[in-house]
Amino acid sequence: MKKILTIILLLAFVLPVVGQTDNIVTENSKKGAHLLNIHVIGLEYIYTYPINRKLSIGGGIGGGAIISLIIEEINNTKTFQGGPLDIIRGKVFIQYNLSKYLYFNAGVKTTYSIISYDSYGSAIAPSLGIFLNGGLLRLGVEFSLVVGSTTTDNLPLFTISFPILGIRLNKKQKKHEKNNPY
């Protein structure tokens, strides 16, 4: 009787430690971030999906009047001039988190823009954005090399869009929710 009682007590302590659990993860516990970027006169909706702690992929669509500045060199002097006014913009990018408070994204955007009173068209632009992350608010700048029908004489234009104020639309996950799929 003592042997059976010892075996039952031993199994009662060992089985929970080495036993198989019946919790099955049926969905991915990663959640993406929904952002609203506010430009000077335009808005842009951004969605990013985390691949790991440092890397995310994302995309966005924007509208309004997203203003950028052109950097031109005239007589060996660099000047800022009014750039294309993006009426509709779409982009895809890869985001890399350098630290908790600083990240950058690199990608490609396509725009339908107005250059002057009678000049408009579409363009494709590789872009690089640098952002300071303050939790729910982000502040950044985006550099682009615009090529396409909106450029004068089909020459590429180097543009800067700033300031960009990003507002996170969904809450961050709490630490205990990160590993809990339910």
Report pLDDT digits (tens) over 117-135: 666 778 888 999 999 998 8
**Would residue 8 count as lying in a domain?**
no
Q: How far is it, in rounded angstroms, from Cα 97 to Cα 5?
A: 57
Average confidence (pLDDT) over 79-84: 64
Average confidence (pLDDT) over 142-147: 84
**Would residue 10 count as lying in a domain?**
no
Q: Report, in angstroms and rounded to the nearest whole number, the Rg of the chain calculated over CA atoms.
A: 25
**Would residue 126 count as lying in a domain?**
yes
**Would residue 66 count as lying in a domain?**
yes
Q: How far is it, in rounded angstroms, from Cα 29 to Cα 180?
A: 7
DSSP symbol at 150 = T
**Would residue 108 count as lying in a domain?**
yes
DSSP symbol at 175 = G
Residue range(s) defining the domain that contains residue 165: 38-171
Question: Which residue has better confidence, 101 or 41?
Answer: 101
Q: What is the pLDDT of residue 12?
A: 52
Report residue 80's pLDDT band, with 50, 70 and 90 as the boundaries.
Answer: low
Contacts of 10 (CB under 8 A, 6+ apart): none
Q: Is 85 helix (H, G, I), strand (E, B) or coil?
A: strand
How many other C-beta atoms lie within 10 A of the C-beta of residue 65?
Answer: 13
Lowest mean pLDDT among 7-16, 58-67, 136-145: 7-16
**Would residue 16 count as lying in a domain?**
no
What is the identity of the amino acid at 59?
G
Q: What is the pLDDT of residue 13?
A: 52
**Would residue 21 count as lying in a domain?**
no
Q: Specify which of 21-35, 99-113, 118-132, 149-163 reaches the highest per-range mean pLDDT.
A: 99-113
**Would residue 135 count as lying in a domain?**
yes
- CATH number of domain containing 151: 2.40.160
What is the pTM assigned to this prediction? Answer: 0.69
Report residue 170's pLDDT band, with 50, 70 and 90 as the boundaries.
Answer: confident
Total of domains in the chain: 1
